[in-house]
Structure 1
């Protein structure tokens, strides 16, 4: 990965940028300005979700950016309360209208839940067959959820977006997804800023004249992880994107991976039941 627009080819042949901007807990003018800034800096992938409440602002920023739609990769997600076949199709129409986009690049099931995600998946398959979505995937799915989904579907998810950072590398899940050609994507790739004081990361950052955040993001890229760091601060949006002019050594990558402690900061998918 040498450039901000470099892409991975998903299991259905669709190209997805390795790097993008996340928009969790960003609303109104704040998120609109963040997305506009990112697009001006060369970002071409934007991640949102119905539950974030910002699809309209994201869509407005895309429309006013002047960037060709064909150069953008837009992801959104169906929320828990809308899971099920018919309700997912309705939820998609709502998201599509708010974003102002007839076609979404990647549509994800936000959480696995208990018993509806297979019906939700059938709706996603229909949307893909109809050309409303270029790729479909899941978020926060564990191995057993993926196994259950694959058992009853001929379509493997293109992406599994999960919490992943140096303190929670999810190696077993990552290996499973790689073996099944499911691309891992990290949310909270910077652990929401909780790794800034780590001495190992600070030392590596000093060697390269980079920030701790930049080192973490580079580590993820070199582990073949798609990343969508969220920020609404212009300077940080710029800083996060400046990770394509250096490369960590294999030893440094392994050392950072050694920080893993199984430390989850978000919800456990097996405990978030609905």
Structure 2
């Protein structure tokens, strides 16, 4: 299995001082993996928070994602160089293609080849994909070769469990990174998860995150509150039993929160 941290902090929808504070607090309470993206518009603030944190860059795992307008061979590497400048680093640890964006005019072969070139140039240590279905993941593997794609970052939660895709990825040795693990907070109101949380004297967020971790997924929850960041991190210490996992498996409702037209693939 690939070498990516199982727990990181996400920065989606966080900007300005809010994202600076979130990243600084996350690093302060013990996070060492940070996930951002070109389209988030916060790479410079993330870079500032890292620089001001005092945590050595060598201890951190920084991920960014290439946005669709930079998928051509001519634009991908220059756009990543701009991201590195904003993040104040010579190299990120992981660079992902953010969405498949079928029909955007750039062939997947060109985009993946440019991503592989970015790795060869030393701009990123590892490469991966995000929001790819099984067919597109297989195409990406065929383009760059087996073992090159370290993760597929996909929406997963107790309400969207996506077993076919996760089974395929794990069979290929591609790490699953779960985003939106709390389904925009919807799972926090779930009575089934609340009962499991009470049983373990845990929070519902910890239960949802522990569920993903025990399935072997990496998670990247975000929060603007220091106490929530610290609490989420403690999901790593929560051991759900077989009965808990079986009950959570019954919550599947194919409840997708993110499905942007023109960017998303035909989901499995």
Interval of TM-score (by shorter of Structure 1 and Structure 2) = over 0.9
Q: Specify every segment of 5 or more residues in structure 2 that has no aligned partner in the other structure, as ranges.
A: none
Once the 2 structures are TM-superposed, how far is the Cα of residue 244 of structure 1 from its aligned partner? 2.8
Match of 1:236 in 2: 228
Cross-structure match for 2:63: 75
Structural RMSD (CA): 1.5
How far is the alpha carbon of 1:126 from its aligned partner? Answer: 1.2
Q: Distance in 2 between matches of 1:57 and 1:218?
A: 29
**Alignment counterpart, residue 146 of structure 1, candidates 127, 130, 137:** 137
Note closer, same or farther for the CA distance 1:272–1:174 as it changes in structure 2 (3 Å cut): closer
Q: Is the 8 A contact 2:72 2:110 kept in 1?
A: yes
Deviation at residue 144 of structure 1 after TM alignment: 1.0
Aligned counterpart for 1:219 among listed residues 204, 211, 236 = 211
Structure 2 Cα separation of the partners of residues 166 and 69 of structure 1: 34
In the TM superposition, 1:197-208 aligns within 5 A as: 197-208=189-200
1:108 matches 2:96: yes
Q: What stretches of structure 1 move > 4 A for 4+ residues in a row?
A: 268-271
Query: Match of 2:40?
Result: 52
Please point out which of 111, 115, 125 is paired with 2:116: 125
Judging by fraction of residues, say which structure has more helix. Answer: 2
Aligned runs of 1:145-164 on 2, under 5 Å?
145-155=136-146, 156-164=148-156
Structure 1: gaps spanning 5 or more residues: 1-8
Q: Which residue of 2 aligns with 1:166?
A: 158
Structure 1 window deviating more from structure 2 (255-264 vs 42-51): it is 255-264
Aligned match for 1:248, one of 240, 243, 247 = 240
Does residue 21 (structure 1) correspond to residue 14 (structure 2)? The answer is no
Q: Does 1:188 align with 2:180?
A: yes
Q: How far off is 1:270 after superposition?
A: 7.2
Distance 1:257 1:237 in 2: 26
CA displacement 1:69-92 (0-9 Å, x = unmatched):
111000000001111111111110
Match of 2:45, SS state, is helix
Query: Normalising by structure 2, what TM-score?
Result: 0.93
Distance, in Å, in 1 between the alignment partners of 2:216 and 2:15 is 30
Of 244-253 and 36-45, the range deviating more from structure 2: 244-253
Distance 2:237 2:174 in 1: 27
Aligned-partner Cα distance in 2 for 1:94–1:61: 17
Contact 2:113–2:143 (8 Å) recurs in 1: no
Q: Distance in 2 between matches of 1:245 and 1:84?
A: 43
Contact kept, 8 Å, 1:138 with 1:160, in 2: the verdict is yes
What count of residue pairs does the alignment treat as equivalent?
261
Residue 38 in structure 1 maps to residue 29 in structure 2? no
